[in-house]
A and B are shown apart, each in its own frame.
Chain A
Amino acid sequence: MKEEGKHKKAKKYGMVINLDECTGCGACMVACMAENNVPFKEDESNKLDSIAWMRVYKLTNGKPYPEAEICYLPRPCMHCEGEHGHAPCVSVCPATATDYNHETGIVSQIYTRCFGCRYCMVACPYHARYFNWWDPVWPEESTKYLSPNVSPRMRGVVEKCSFCFHRYQLAMDKAYLEGRTVLEEDEYQTSCAQACPAGAITFGDLNNPEHKVHQLAKPDNKHGGRPGNPNVFRLLERLGTNPKVYYMSSREWVRQAGDNYINNEDLAKNYRH
């Protein structure tokens, strides 16, 4: 622990999603698809093969009418840190097609490197990874809106959310040109965070106390990044994946829906927020 603080801290980009504000409108999903050249097919109602780097799940409290409640939960890639960068998907990849970058905390996915074994999809507890079962087809003129910043994928590879890493690259280019090496908070924002009409998604450097994400989540890096804010939780916290996407909700049942519990489990004893 002594070494901490000796050097300049690495960045750890992450997200805090306010589920009280999220309206489930789906703008984040489309903002992501449009930014990242995500393909589409004629029938997308089979959600198992429908590629959505960001997917909004609908949670229910399981109570009968009229006590029923619903809550929406947007799910990007969690960019798990695990312990020292041992993200579940990274450690199983036999092709080095996905890796954990300690400098930004982003888990990459290199399509040309991937040979489609799908181990990572099995390993990912969040279903954040998608397989290209078919070659993507863009109808007629539609290739015209493809962004040159993200390469279109081919059949047989896995893809997932990159926290719009290309935006980081482009922002760094601008910074280098201006003689800087550090980015401002608003210089690098993901497409979903930028588009969210409700302003429910906050993105930034979890290690930087000046960034809003740090202030909201209050991550405790000594304990695997556990949130210090009692309303903040992470998905499947107890797996130890150390994800970088935090969720915020004032509703108890929503916070509990983020993990699995044994009936009548003593939460206070086994699980500390």
Chain B
Amino acid sequence: MSTQDDKAKEVSADGAAGPIILFFILGLAASLVFGWIIFPKLLYSQKKQPIDFNHVLHVEAVEEGCESCHFFREDGSFSGIPKLEQCVDCHEEPQGEDPNEIKFVEDYVANGREVPWLVYARQPDCVFFSHAAHVKKGEMDCGTCHGHIGESEHSRVYEENRITGYSRDIWGKNISGLKKHTWERMKMDDCAECHTTKEIKTDVETLPWPINWLPRPYEKQTGNQARVKTVKEACFVCHK
């Protein structure tokens, strides 16, 4: 009993609050540093693209901009990252002296091996994303979701979430999940942002409802599938 009393006296004698606050602040600071700086570094592994790709150079060389390589196939599907077959059209032999190109020709073209590109914007398997619906029907720009990737001179590092295996681009570079531009995050909420706010022309068929001033619980949309989050009935549109 006596020892405890002694300690209590000691603490009060030292001016009790000081160290406690200090340790509180220390704890706070340490966790902030860990949470904001160390944690993201631990969470993501860094991977280099097999070939450093220069978009600027290529955009200058081709005639139809992005669509020269990233195009729609006749069946409505989107080609995404080009296959070796398309690259070979120009790169049968090295065109310049860039070591990346030489590596590409020697390692991949010569062996007929596809380049294992790491796809920054790859969505998980449960997502069905229609490029045709957004680009053709919705007349959106590639940049709205993909940013100014066409202006990059080097491939940036691909960061992979160690837990989910997703690309960091899905959550966004900012670990807090905040973004400044539309292309900085690709989670479902980000899709919903457009789909809830954007004024999209839609044909709505209302079902018979007896009282006019009461909100109608069921509205049938007929024209398109744009309003994802407003009506709880469109899961299949984006999920498979």
Contacts and interface: CB of A to CB of B under 8 A. Distances in A.
Q: So, do A and B actually touch in the complex, CB under 8 Å?
A: yes
Given A96-B235, A99-B233, A108-B236, A8 B126 contact: no
A32 interface: no
Given A7-B203, A181-B137, A103 B222 contact: yes
Interface in A75-94: 84-85
A172 interface: yes
19 contacts: A1-B208, A3-B207, A3-B208, A8-B223, A10-B222, A11-B222, A102-B218, A102-B231, A103-B220, A103-B222, A103-B234, A151-B240, A172-B76, A173-B77, A174-B75, A176-B132, A176-B136, A178-B76, A181-B223
Interface in A1-22: 1, 3, 6-11
A150 interface: yes
Contact of A8 (B217, B219, B222, B237): B222
B72 interface: yes
B31 interface: no
A112 B231 CA distance: 20
A106 interface: yes
B218 A84 contact: yes
Nearest to B220: A102
Contacts of A170: 75-77
Interface in A100-120: 100-103, 106, 108, 110-113
Nearest to A86: B218
B128 interface: yes
Interface stretch (A123-131, A161-169, A194-202): A161-169
Contacts of B57: none
Contacts of A1: 208
Nearest to A2: B208
Given A8-B205, A10-B205, A177-B136, A102 B236 contact: no
Interface in B223-239: 223-225, 231-237, 239
B60 to A, nearest CB: 27
A71 interface: no
B234 A173 contact: no
Given A112-B126, A177-B72, A7 B236 contact: no
A120 to B, nearest CB: 14
A173 B232 contact: no
Contacts of A169: 128, 130, 237, 240
A66 to B, nearest CB: 48
B240 A181 contact: no
Contacts of A96: 232, 235
Interface residues of B, number: 39
Given A10-B222, A84-B207, A176-B136, A166 B128 contact: yes
B204 interface: yes
A96 B237 CA distance: 14
B132 A177 contact: yes
A56 interface: no
Interface in A113-147: 113
Nearest to A11: B222
B221 A173 contact: no
A175 interface: yes
B98 interface: no
Nearest to A166: B240
Nearest to A170: B76
Interface in A26-56: none
A174 B234 contact: no
Contacts of B232: 96, 99
Contact of B239 (A113, A152, A179): A113
B204 A176 contact: no
A60 interface: no
A149 interface: yes
Interface in B129-143: 130-133, 136-137
Contacts of B126: 110-112, 151
Given A112-B239, A149-B240, A174 B221 contact: no
A176 B205 contact: no
Contact of B137 (A3, A112, A176): A176
B14 interface: no
Contacts of A171: 76
Contacts of A176: 76, 130, 132-133, 136-137
Contacts of B199: none
Contacts of A108: 235-236, 239
Contacts of B76: 170-178
